[in-house]
Amino acid sequence: MSKLRAAITAVGGYVPQFVMTNQMLEELVDTNDEWITTRTGIKERRILKKEEGEGSSFLAIKAANDLLKKRGIEANEIDLIMVATATPDSMVASTAAFVASEIGATNAFAYDLLAACSSFLFGMSTASSYIESGRYKKVLLIGADKMSSIINYEDRTTCIIFGDGAGAVLFEPNREGLGLQDEYLRADGSGRKFLGMEAGGSLLPASHETIDANQHYIFQDGKSVFKFAVSNMADVAEKIMVRNNLKNTDVAWLVPHQANKRIIDATAKRMGLEASKVLMNIERYGNTTSATLPLLLYDFEDKLKKGDNLVFAAFGGGFTWGSIYLKWAYN
Ligand code: UT7
């Protein structure tokens, strides 16, 4: 019997109904469709409006229920729920605990996982380790972010990039050699001055001054982040290929974080992959932070075949980044 591995056995997803186009952003800030399209690859993003629902948990619950329906299991069969998010419903009480209760996962423990745009990638490692321990059989990992809750729609350097959404995957034990094969994960705290949110945490609690100074919005030094992202994402993707003796012809799909099409193209180029092997939906959703990777699996699930070699790669605030090699487990 081959080694116990953690395989993805189901995928769910949800994006809010409201579509914010580049043309709409032209009304809000000094930008234009041509600039956004050529610099980022983004055409539109989804925004969660109050009339539809509130908080990242709303998105996470939708994605989780979609997954449960598709997999045909009851929520009370789940052992653990993790919500990867940079925009939890609130501080202290985890969003995952609320999601678990709302979907009826009465036998699960639950907590959040925060590593900015790498949250879901790191969560894949955590979820897989629980399965590989043999103690848990069904681990639900959800990536959910309501980025619009921390965006300043007067700041053209951030508002054009981010969108809201959620995706979910179920990890289960596999003895056929399928599932997570290898991972290469990294962090560098010197990066937090280039991307983050200044106030609202223990370092700088909320006050009248922090609100007046717009410190509860996400900021980024785009050029610096771009430089780190483009080299590190390509480096780790290449490293994981070399370490696992994967040639470009062995890789079926690159599943890259959707921050900027130029970063994705550079990663694919370093891996020697043609564009047809690169999963991409950035033009429709923008950067949904923790939701980009599972939303790719959700959108392109029909194309994935049992045994396919998938290479995931992400880069995010912190800085955090990494790559995961996974064999797809179902048709
Ligand atoms: O997911 C987490 C990790 N995040 C990332 O990976 C994001 C990484 N960074 C990026 O994707 C890119 O740096 C951005 C898309 C944010 C910006 O693209 P860029 O090619 O690096 O542009 P830039 O910041 O170098 O700005 C170029 C020019 C500047 O004007 P000047 O100084 O050349 O006159 C900016 O002021 O473009 C201007 N600019 C804009 N123009 C129109 C900046 N933002 C905009 C805008 N519309 N929205």
Tell me the residue length of the chain. 331
Bridging pattern class, strands 80-84 and 109-113: parallel
* Ligand 1 in reach of 129 Cβ (< 6 A): no
Task: Look at ligand 1, atom 14, and give the residue with the nearest C-alpha.
Answer: 222
Q: Please work out whether the CB of residue 316 comes within 6 Å of at least one atom of ligand 1.
A: yes
Q: Is 318 in the pocket of ligand 1 (CB under 6 A)?
A: no
User: Strand 320-327's sheet: what is its strand order?
Assistant: 179-187, 320-327, 309-316, 253-256
Q: Which structural domains are found in the chain, ordered by start?
A: 5-177 (3.40.47.10), 180-327 (3.40.47.10)
How many whole angstroms separate alpha carbon 210 and alpha carbon 192?
18
**Whether 313 contacts 227, CB under 8 Å:** no
Integer angstrom CA distances of residue 175 from 4, 7, 27, 52 = 5, 9, 54, 42
CA of 159 to the centre of ligand 1 (A): 11
CA of 157 to the centre of ligand 1 (A): 6
Instruction: Say if ligand 1 is within 6 A of residue 230 CB.
Output: no
Q: Are 299 and 13 in contact (CB under 8 A)?
A: yes
Sign of the Cα pseudo-torsion (234, 239, 241, 247, in order): positive
Q: Which of 293, 280, 281, 290 is nearest to 326 (CA)?
A: 293
pLDDT of 1: 63
pLDDT for the residue 2: 85
User: With a cut of 50, which residues of the chain have pLDDT below it?
Assistant: none
Token pair, residue 311, equals 């290479």
Q: What is the pLDDT of residues 174-199, one digit of tens each?
A: 999 999 999 999 999 999 999 999 99
The residues that are catalytic are 117, 257, 287
Say what the pLDDT of residue 64 is.
98
Q: Which residues contact 196 (CB under 8 A, 6 or more apart)?
A: 116, 218, 219, 220, 317
Which DSSP string do the residues of 166-197 spell out, in sequence order? EEEEEEEEESSS-EEEEEEEEE-GGGGGTEEE
Query: Cα of 222 to ligand 1 centre, how many Å?
Result: 6
